[in-house]
Amino acid sequence: MLRMHIVQVCWPLVGLMMMVGCSSQIDSAANNAPAVPTAPAGEGAANAETYKVRFETSKGDFVVEVHPEWAPIGAAHFRELVDAGFYDDTRFFRVIDGFMAQVGMNGDPEVHAQWSERTIPDEPTKQSNTRGFVTFARTGMPNSRSTQIFINYGDNSQLDNQGFAPFGKVVEGMDVVDSLYSGYGEGAPRGRGPDQQLIRESGNKYLNAQFPELDYIITARVIGGDRALIAPGDELRTESDDSVNDQ
C-alpha cells in the first residue's frame, strides 16, 4: 500500500497497500463482512443522473460532482450515505501531503458500527485517481468498500488497477481540500496520526482529545436537482445494519 494508505493504502502497493491493506487506516471491519450490495449495479444505476454534494467544513466549502456512469455502485452508495447524514461531523483523519485526504469514520461508534458491514461490490475503474478525483477506500479484501472515501491530491494512477474506482471529482473548492490539516501525517502504526481501531471504539471523543487540529466536515448535502431522499439522520435512527484503504 503506498505510503499513502489511501484509506489504507500503503504507498505504491506498499503505499497502495497501505491504502488497501497495508495500513490500518482504512476500516478493516469490512474485511470479513459479506458484501451487501446496497446500491444498484445494473444499467439503471449507470444511467442515473449526475449530482453534486456540497461539503461544509472547518476550512470552508467544497463541492464534489458525482458521475454514476464512472462507478454506479459507488455513486449510489455515496448518495445513500450523504442522504443519511453519515458524513456530518466526521474528521479528515488521514491527510498526507501530495497523496490524499481521507475521511469517512463516523464520530459516533454506534453509528459507525451500523454501517461498517455494509460493504459494496468492487467495480471496474473507468477514471484515473488523479488530482481532485474522489474514491472509496478499501482493504486488501474483495468487495470491502464501505464508508471511507479519499480525495486525491496528485497523480495516484498507480491505484487504478487495484480496485480504487473514482466516482466523483471536486469541481469547486479544491483549495479548501488542499488546506486541510496534515500535520499529524500517517496514522498508527506507521506514524503518529490517529489509530483507526481507536476511532472505531471511541469516535470523536478520542479524536478531539488526541488530535484537536484535525479538520472536519460540518455537513454534506446534495445540492440542486433532487433533494435528499432521506432526512439527515433518519436512516441511522431506524436501521441497524462502514481506502485509499479501508481499515
Q: Alpha carbon 219 to chain centroid distance?
A: 15
Q: Is residue 121 part of a domain?
A: yes
Range of the domain at 115: 34-185+194-238
Show the CA angle centred on residue 9, arms to residues 6 and 11, nearest 5°: 105
Q: What CATH number is given to the structural domain containing 156? A: 2.40.100.10
Strand 133-136: give its sheet, edge to edge.
90-91, 216-223, 51-57, 60-66, 166-172, 133-136, 149-152, 100-103, 94-96
Q: Of the candidates 153, 168, 4, which has an alpha carbon nearest to the alpha carbon of residue 74?
A: 168
Q: Is residue 118 part of a domain?
A: yes
Q: Is residue 27 part of a domain?
A: no
Q: Is residue 12 part of a domain?
A: no
Q: Are 204 and 105 in contact (CB under 8 A)?
A: no
Q: Is residue 57 part of a domain?
A: yes
Q: Are 188 and 133 in contact (CB under 8 A)?
A: no
**Inter-CA distances, 166 with 74, 129, 150, Å:** 8, 7, 9
Q: Is residue 18 part of a domain?
A: no
Q: Of the candidates 85, 193, 103, which has an alpha carbon nearest to the alpha carbon of residue 147?
A: 103
Q: Is residue 70 part of a domain?
A: yes
The pLDDT, as a whole number, for residue 47 is 62
Q: Are 148 and 199 in contact (CB under 8 A)?
A: no
247 residues of the chain, pLDDT tens digit each: 333 334 444 333 333 333 433 333 333 333 333 333 333 444 445 568 999 999 999 999 999 999 999 999 999 999 999 999 999 999 999 999 999 999 999 999 999 999 988 999 999 999 999 999 999 999 999 999 999 999 999 999 999 999 999 999 999 999 999 999 999 999 888 889 999 999 999 999 999 999 999 999 999 999 986 444 433 444 333 232 334 665 5
Q: Are 153 and 129 in contact (CB under 8 A)?
A: no
Q: Of the candidates 206, 204, 193, 218, which has an alpha carbon nearest to the alpha carbon of residue 58?
A: 218
**Farthest-apart Cα atoms in the chain, separation:** 46
Q: Are 7 and 29 in contact (CB under 8 A)?
A: no
The pLDDT, as a whole number, for residue 191 is 87
Instruction: Name the domain count of the chain.
Output: 1
